[in-house]
Chains A and B, each alone.
Chain A
Amino acid sequence: MRRGAVTLAVLLPMLVFIYLPVVTLVLFSLHDGRVPLPPFKGPTLEWYGKILANPRITVATLNSIMVAGVSAAISVGLAMLAGWGLARHRVPGRGLIEALILMPLTVSYLVVGLGLLVATGGLVPKSLALVIVGHVVLNLPLAFAILYVQFDTAQARLEMAARDLGASERQVFWRVTVPSLRVALIAAFALCFTFSWDEFIVAFLLSGFDPTLPVVIWSLLRTGLDPQTNAAGTLVFLVSVVAALMVEAFLLKRRKDGPVL
């Protein structure tokens, strides 16, 4: 009993600390008043109607979805090839290559964004394509870290078995390697998607006249607090939660299925 009470005394403030801002954000997106400050009045869906009617926000949302989808797909595809290449072939300097691929995890987003801005030096105009490049730089190491550990000896034996049964290298890759890693591939994609979806710094520095959703929310904030920003923020949050739940569901399903042979 006493241990339970102590646990609660520690846990409760911690949960409040973590979730209060999120709860406030979501709650005041339903606020019936011009300024999202207590006391709470409402609820109303007026602000959601407003942002859905606001072309700046809807276009930015589509931009964000496109950037997140494309950059996640590129990150996962490259990470898959890198992992497969490094794990299944004799590569000179493998340790160094692994380190180089994982390194961007430790580099700040600001440095990556500034670096790309300077490196493209006005030769390449700021655009969503440049944001995608930036997000691939940020997410490739993450996808690689998730996928690389999947290429273990049991996985290698699956490929051996496929070859033994007469499969060509192409058939081995597409019919055994890729589908047997589908859980990790989906998890990596969903994580990369969420990271790109709410990434601000790189998008702000590189997106130019086609802003993504976080950049538009930031510009809304400059004109003062407005429940519209709460509603937009809530949408961003919901998409992230759905993606995170997807990862969770897939990883959980895998655990229930027992170890992959």
Chain B
Amino acid sequence: MARSSDLSIIAVTKVFGATRAVDDLSLEVPANTYVVLLGASGSGKTTLLSMLGGFTAPTSGQLLLDGRDITLMPPAMRPTATVFQDYALFPHMTVAGNVGFGLSVRGMPKADIAARVEAALDMVGLSGFGPRRITAASGGQRQRIALARALVTEPAMLLLDEPLGALDLNLRRAMQDELRGLQRREGRTFIHVTHDQEEAMAVADMIVIMNKGRIEDAGPPERIYAHPRTRYAATFMGESNILSATFGAGGAETALGVLPVQGKGGSAVVIRPENLRLKAADGTILLGDWTVTACVFQGAFARVAGQIGPVTLHLRCAPRDAPSPGQTCPLYLGPGGVTGLAD
């Protein structure tokens, strides 16, 4: 299906005064990909989205959609559609008026619009909501209306600016699954901005971690979580134990000894809390005697902090296995649990 397009971001820079909001950023996004731009506020993710939507002109660089230059194309001409953070629904129109707006301004006949609007509302589970007032819709409904309004114009790329930020936690988790399903069914590229790493992992084919206008790491969620490329990516995605290290032929030399390591590194390695074990098993390595300093019950798991000499290590385990503070026990490293980090 030719619904989606390949996106190339080539050396794009955006300067606001003295700040480089986006700094010489390049990225290839294949068609039909769910991309999440993940970063703290000020990382440049929203500026990048705004440039993709045509609301901000890059200072330099190029944006290509299927090889066609869209860098300076105005939003109205661009085959993109945006779901805004506050949804930006038109308060003076009905639900159907909002969803049909993009078709109506293109001069589509009324009867065709009505049919397409109903189909779009059906797609987001709001069949029959057309005649209602926008002001009567709940937060979750507004979210869906905004989605329908953007998708009805058949964009090559859907841009979502913190689309779930205004929803409460339960609704947010449910909408994540829906967004994911919608992207699969529609077969379009979605580019979704968020600062919520769990949300990113739940929906993305490709996570792009941004920091100071640059890409820290980009790739599938599983790879990014298990083997982050940089120290920033490791700390941003989930909990992590980061140790200073020097890299040699035998692995990474750390305060806990020489450890087998995955990937190249600069001056540090990361060990995810779930890769630390309290019991020996196949392929585990004894790290040393670990003195527990704190234990926090989190429901399905417990977070335990403790020390081997001067090194603090965090571990995740089943609550019933969790040792109490003050206890000392041997600590093991699971196989493939150490990843080298670029600086």
CB within 8 Å of B: which residues of A?
154, 157-158, 160-168, 171, 175-176, 179-180, 182, 257-258, 260-261
Contact = CB atoms under 8 A, between A and B. Distances in A.
Given A166-B106, A257-B135, A260-B91, 4 more contacts: A157-B84, A164-B82, A165-B153, A261-B89
Nearest to A162: B101
Complex A-B, nearest 3 residue pairs according to Cβ-Cβ distance, in ascending order: A165-B102, A161-B88, A157-B88
Contacts of A261: 86-91, 134-135, 142
Interface in B72-126: 74-78, 80-82, 84, 86-92, 101-102, 105-106
B47 to A, nearest CB: 15
Given A164-B82, A165-B81, A180 B90 contact: yes
A164 B80 contact: yes
B53 interface: yes
B227 interface: no
B149 interface: yes
Nearest to A176: B90
A258 to B, nearest CB: 6
Q: Which of A163, A164, A179, A257 has the most chain B CB within a 10 Å cutoff? A: A164
A90 to B, nearest CB: 13
Interface of B: 53-55, 74-78, 80-82, 84, 86-92, 101-102, 105-106, 134-135, 142, 149-150, 153
B263 to A, nearest CB: 40
A165 to B, nearest CB: 4
Contacts of A175: 101, 105
A208 to B, nearest CB: 42
B125 to A, nearest CB: 20
Nearest to A256: B135
Contacts, number: 76
B105 A166 contact: yes
A260 B93 CA distance: 12
A56 B223 CA distance: 88
Contacts of B86: 154, 157, 261
Given A157-B84, A257-B135, A261-B142, A163 B75 contact: yes
Contacts of A257: 91, 135
Contact of A180 (B91, B102, B135): B91
A64 B23 CA distance: 63
Q: Which of B88, B101, B134, B150 has the most chain A CB within a 10 Å cutoff? A: B88
B101 A165 contact: yes
Contacts of B78: 164
Contact of A258 (B74, B82, B135): B135
19 contacts: A154-B86, A157-B84, A157-B86, A158-B90, A160-B84, A161-B84, A161-B88, A162-B105, A163-B76, A164-B80, A165-B153, A166-B77, A166-B105, A176-B90, A180-B90, A180-B92, A257-B135, A261-B134, A261-B135
B88 A163 contact: no
Contacts of B105: 162, 165-168, 171, 175
A60 to B, nearest CB: 38
A209 B48 CA distance: 65
